[in-house]
Amino acid sequence: MVRVPFVTIVVEDYDAAIEFFVETLGFELVEDLPAVGRDGQPKRWVVVRPIGEPTGIVLARPSTPDEEAVIGRQVAGRVGFFLQTDNFNEAHKRLVDAGVEFVRPPRIERYGRVAVFRDIAGNLWDLLGP
């Protein structure tokens, strides 16, 4: 069996990213532990995930200029992350009310409803619904 337990999103600030993912998107904070980076500097091991889902997102602060340069462009400006919901209208309204920036309005595709939003770091996400 092969699994993908984590993916990483590089963020400027741990606490602001935790607030966005937990308070705004409704994820759960799985871990927030002190750690030490490759450079010997203190960092944190922070993992969030949608409630009930197995794959977590590691929120990582950059420790090099190259890592800093990818903030908000982790997938070269493409939509690289996907948030699926059973109630698109409710989820979209909740995110709009929370101040999430939608860069493309809702539209209907052959696979369902979709709208594109920006996360706290500037990465693009699809909000997907039936």
- Give the number of other Cβ atoms within 10 Å of residue 40's Cβ: 7
Round the average pLDDT of the chain to a whole number and report it.
96
The candidate with the shortest Cα–Cα distance to 17, out of 128, 125, 127, 122, is: 122
CATH superfamily of 1-63: 2,3-Dihydroxybiphenyl 1,2-Dioxygenase, domain 1 (3.10.180.10)
pTM of the full structure: 0.93
Provide the Cα torsion 60, 18, 4, 103; round to 10°. -90
Architecture label for domain 78-130: Roll (3.10)
Check whether 14 has a pLDDT greater than 90: yes
Specify the domain boundaries for CATH 3.10.180.10 within the chain.
1-63, 78-130
Statement: residue 39 has pLDDT above 90? no
Sequence letter at residue 124: L
In Å, how far from its chain's centre is CA 5?
15
- Quick check: helix, strand or coil at residue 78? coil
Q: What angle do CA 18, 21, 23 make, to 5 degrees?
A: 85
77 token code pair: 């400006």
16-34 pLDDT, tens digit per residue, is 999 999 999 999 999 999 9
